[in-house]
Amino acid sequence: MQAFTDIRALIIDMDGVLWHGDQPQAGLTDFFETLRDLALPFILATNNASMTAEQYVAKLAKMGVTVAEREILTSGMATALYLSQRYDPQTTRAYAIGGTGTWKPLQDLGFTLTGLYETGPDQHAHLVVCGMDREISWDKLATATLNLRAGAHFIGTNGDISLPTEHGITHGNGAILAALTAATGIQPMIIGKPEPIIYRQAIELLGAPLAQTIAIGDRLDTDILGAVRTGIRSLMVLTGVSSAKDVEATDYGPTWVVPDIRDVTRMLRELAA
């Protein structure tokens, strides 16, 4: 295993790493206290676009952890930023499936959001943006399908087909994307991990060199593969979706594998000693 050295910044996943649903992982507060004690900058970068940065700040506060909104980057935020750099928000209409974390970043950057069945010639969306939606419905899927068939570009905040929760592993946003692809034959462009877009945005926010930045995650096919594609080292915890056996079965993998964030805390403190 490669030596755990020369680390100056971290990009940290949330679901499966910091918590399962509303259940915090053991050692959560100590982990963040260590990051603060060592003055290690970090970005909490999640593929889950169901909540806003403000909501994630509040969720962590309930778990005894204080973070700033600037330390959070969701795939919803990454998607809105990416699209704003390629489309004029003032003239672009978007139909969004997903929670507040999907549609609010688009609204904040000036995109006009269309509603259910607003699919006429002067109402149809130029973009269909799909994030995790816990209130998905026939009407939402139908509106997205009509817009896609009318020529809207198809954007997925992330493609995760599963989501670790306190109840077990459930379906993720990728399952909703698959339904729309089945209905239209159109494949979405994915912004979140394993595409390097969100990692590159996080690295820019951190202002740290690639060689001194590591990603921490629980999924091989998103967190770890995204790090590989970005060209940074990665650490996988075994408290989420992927297992040690999964690592053995792939032709790529993390730089380090540990049981949980308590081990990451120990390694960081040993590094600083």
Active site residues per annotation: 13, 15
Q: 86 vs 43, 83, 192, 200, 233, CA distance in Å?
A: 24, 5, 17, 16, 29
C-beta separation of 131 from 140 below 8 A: no
Amino acid at 243: S
Length of the chain: 273
59 among the known binding-site residues?
no
Query: ∠57-156-213 over CA atoms, to 5°?
Result: 55
C-beta separation of 137 from 161 below 8 A: no
Helix, strand, coil percentages for the chain (3-state, nearest 5):
40, 20, 40
Q: What is the sign of the dihedral through the CA atoms of 39, 41, 45 and 49? A: positive
- Distance in angstroms (rounded) separating the CA atoms of residues 170 and 132: 12
13 among the known binding-site residues?
yes
Order across the sheet with 72-74: list the strands.
72-74, 42-46, 9-12, 213-217, 233-237, 256-258
Instruction: List all residues 6 or more positions away from 210 whose beta carbon is below 8 Å from its beta carbon.
Output: 203, 230, 231, 232
245 among the known binding-site residues?
no
CA dihedral 242, 245, 248, 251 (to 10 degrees): -40
260 among the known binding-site residues?
no
Return binding residues.
13, 15, 193, 218
| Binding residue positions for Mg(2+) | 13, 15, 218
Binding residues for substrate: 193
